[in-house]
Structure 1
Amino acid sequence: MALPVRDQMKYWGTAAAVFLALLWLMGDVILPFVLSMAVAYMLDPVADRLELWGLSRIAATIVITLVAAVLFVLTALLVIPTLVKQATDLVNTAPDLINNLQSFLTAKFPVLLDESSQLRQTLAQIGETIQSKGGELLSGALASAMSLVNVVMLLVLVPVITFYLLMDWDRMVAQVDKLLPRDHAPVIRRLASDIDRTLASFIRGQGTVCLILGTFYAAGLMLVGLKFGLVAGAVAGALTFIPYVGAIVGGLLSIGLALFQFWGEWQWIAAVVAIFAVGQFVEGNILTPNLVGSSVGLHPVWLIFALSAFGTLFGFVGMLVAVPVAAALGVVARFAVDQYRDSRLYRGLEANAPDDVDDTDDDI
């Protein structure tokens, strides 16, 4: 005999509370494990495909690890130094950009930007704030990233943990399946399948879209000679997972930089605009339909709320788990709505009506 619903809610509620408490108390400790689980989840289909090609699971894991190591080394040597340098230069150049904007506005609207005008003072304050706060933020982030603990975590712990998780991923899933409550196992499996499909579409598909578009934007902007093209392309690609936000933020940043750098050379400014126009066309008509699908089940507003809420409550670890938790809650919410619409609470007396209605009733 199954436990009463009240007792089940009590046990599952306690388990959820313990999980959230551990996430809050042990955020820094479990960070490498959360990162490793995310990477292993993304790479599991690749390992499954290599197994279909005849490799064993451990051989497939070794191949993936070697390829990932080569790509990481190439990225670390070729991309990261340039990205950091351009980001630092962009922060330091911000006051000059603001001054150029002041000069332009002064030439066009001299009445609005005299020495005592509020707008001129505001622009000057914005430039100083970007330089001071942006420099502090960037230096703090670099100092944190270069600390010994973080280096060990990123370069040693995460790859090692990911290797073992990827090698035993299917076995772990099977073990979790054996521990499911027997009465609810079919429903949990169905919900887990829906959650996996949503995450696969969003994380794997949208992650691939972000990588492709970020590379395209960065390469295109650097080819046209934009000074901070790599930074602008990286920002646009990283924010692409929120629909339209990546293109808007990256596009405005790139076009703004192009206006200052190429003022008067309209063909280069048009080239920057064309890069983002082509990127949006390719994303909307080729990448997203084929890699993400037409229905992911994660509304942008719900996603932004989850990232903000979990980031505020649990820090960086919370932001990492926000997407899977949001996907899970979305699937559970849709399941609950379906159950409600099939219940007597929603259908009322209709739920007691016979399925087959006498045709003579329609004739009366």
Structure 2
Amino acid sequence: MTQLPLTVRRAIELMGLYFLGMIILVGKDIITPIVMAFFLAIMLLPIYRFFRKRKLPESLAIFLAVFSLIIIVGLLVWFFSSQISNLISDFPQIKANVQLHLNTLSKWIDAKTKLSTEKQAQLINEQNDKLLNYAAGILSGAASSVTGILIFLGLLPIYIFLLLYYKDILIRFIYYWFPKNQHSKVGEVITESEAIIKSYLIGLLIQISYITILLGGILLLIGIKHAILIGAIFAILNLIPYIGALFGNIIGVLLTISSSQEIWPIFAVLGTIAVVQFLDNNILMPRIVGSKVKINALITIIGVFVAGALAGVSGMFLSLPVIAVLKIVFDRTTEFKQWGLLLGDERNQASSMKWPLLKRAPKNAKTS
């Protein structure tokens, strides 16, 4: 059998990427919960194996593992509902604080420009009405999507249970796709993917916990209102690489402005977030997750935006573990090694490229 030319193979790969993106875009409501259930099922494997070692039946061990996840999710829902209810109860005070900040801004504009107070008041009232209408639109949209969220949350434990129950069939199905002389590589990919996914997801749970406690605790000691809610929101949004931290800062500032009549809490919140994020990025998270997930920053950012465009917010959360698994697969194949190189962060000291402009010399090379 003759091998296809290199250009034809590359064209087929690009066409495959295009059709894969279209499939995800069209079937995201079906694919996203299955992919999320797959990662959660892998994370629950240690709990399942713990119960199996205690000689429990397989179905009961799977049920207990899934039930433990349901309890954790229930506690998170209770926590956020209680925090949001406290925020809603402070709504009259929030409205007064926002009005005070707008009046301060109006005085500053009056001192710097010739805009009359009446025009400023009219402009502020118009913007205030637009803001309230926008908030009402968000709430109505969230209320209309409650059914979809409930269906998603209802299907998730069912998918997890069935994935764990039929895991042996799924693994055998993967092996049947490859000849026997490649089964050892397939086993390596499966084992390493499981290890990295468990390490990464458990590390993320630990990250959410210590960021919420550390950030919320410091803000609480400073005297910031809704400190724990700010810490929890930032911790969850921080799971989205790069852009999540930006939105976390914005929400933290908005919550602080609305709950205080002074300006200094804003700088306190921003400074505390910066310190906690520095500790997280440079000290805590590398020690927890380690250096197993070697994805370069460019691919991470592109992957987050592409996954968000294809599958929404859930796609952003899933982008990094999906890319990590793809890199493991690509690195162990001869046909797709170039894709594994593109996803990775292994920057060699010297390049083998033949063009002088693109070739990078070693650091210890002598310069004339």
What are the superposed Cα offsets for residues 232-284 of structure 1, whole Å, 9 maximum, x if unpaired?
22321122225676556545644564466455697x77875685466346524
Distance, in Å, in 1 between the alignment partners of 2:116 and 2:104 is 17
Which residue is 1:291 aligned to? 288
- Deviation of 1:209 after TM superposition, in Å, equals 0.9
- Deviation of 1:207 after TM superposition, in Å, equals 4.2
Distance, in Å, in 1 between the alignment partners of 2:162 and 2:291 is 34
Q: Matched residue of 2:288: which SS? A: helix
Q: Matched residue of 2:35: which SS? A: helix
Unaligned runs of at least 5 residues, structure 2: 355-368
Q: CA RMSD in A?
A: 4.7
Are the equivalent residues in 2 in contact too, given 1:98–1:123 (CA < 8 A)? no
Instruction: Return the letter of the residue paired with 1:206.
Output: L
Which residue is 2:72 aligned to? 71
Distance, in Å, in 1 between the alignment partners of 2:60 and 2:279 is 36
Instruction: Return the letter of the residue paired with 2:284.
Output: L
Are the equivalent residues in 1 in contact too, given 2:257–2:266 (CA < 8 A)? yes
Instruction: Return the letter of the residue paired with 1:103.
Output: N
Change (3 A) 1:4 1:122: farther
Which residue is 1:162 aligned to? 160
Change (3 A) 1:327 1:93: farther
Are the equivalent residues in 1 in contact too, given 2:41–2:163 (CA < 8 A)? yes
Change (3 A) 1:322 1:91: farther
Query: What is the TM-score of this pair, normalised by structure 2?
Result: 0.68
Which residue is 2:366 aligned to? none
Change (3 A) 1:298 1:195: farther
Distance, in Å, in 1 between the alignment partners of 2:157 and 2:327 is 31
Are the equivalent residues in 1 in contact too, given 2:21–2:310 (CA < 8 A)? no
Instruction: Return the letter of the residue paired with 1:101.
Output: H
Are the equivalent residues in 1 in contact too, given 2:230–2:255 (CA < 8 A)? no
Which residue is 1:358 aligned to? none
Distance, in Å, in 2 between the alignment partners of 1:231 and 1:203 is 22
Instruction: Return the letter of the residue paired with 2:79.
Output: V
Change (3 A) 1:182 1:127: farther
Q: Matched residue of 1:134: which SS? A: helix
Distance, in Å, in 2 between the alignment partners of 1:275 and 1:238 is 17
Are the equivalent residues in 2 in contact too, given 1:209–1:288 (CA < 8 A)? yes
Which residue is 1:237 aligned to? 235
Query: What is the TM-score of this pair, normalised by structure 1?
Result: 0.68
Which residue is 1:4 aligned to? 3
- Deviation of 1:72 after TM superposition, in Å, equals 3.2
Which residue is 1:206 aligned to? 204
Change (3 A) 1:240 1:347: closer
Are the equivalent residues in 2 in contact too, given 1:226–1:258 (CA < 8 A)? yes
Distance, in Å, in 2 between the alignment partners of 1:338 and 1:265 is 48
Instruction: Return the letter of the residue paired with 2:100.
Output: N
Which residue is 1:61 aligned to? 62
Change (3 A) 1:89 1:20: farther
Which residue is 2:308 aligned to? 311
Unaligned runs of at least 5 residues, structure 1: 349-364
Which residue is 1:102 aligned to? 102
Are the equivalent residues in 2 in contact too, given 1:50–1:60 (CA < 8 A)? yes
Change (3 A) 1:197 1:12: farther
- Deviation of 1:96 after TM superposition, in Å, equals 4.9
**1:39 matched to 2:40:** yes
Distance, in Å, in 2 between the alignment partners of 1:10 and 1:115 is 60
What are the superposed Cα offsets for residues 38-94 of structure 1, whole Å, 9 maximum, x if unpaired?
321322244345545665644432322232233333333x32423444676799987
Change (3 A) 1:95 1:303: farther
Distance, in Å, in 2 between the alignment partners of 1:136 and 1:94 is 19
Overall identity of the aligned pairs, in %: 21
Distance, in Å, in 2 between the alignment partners of 1:265 and 1:311 is 34
**1:335 matched to 2:318:** no
Number of residues of Structure 1 aligned to a counterpart in Structure 2? 340
Which residue is 2:362 aligned to? none
Moved more, 196-205 or 183-192: 183-192
**1:173 matched to 2:168:** no
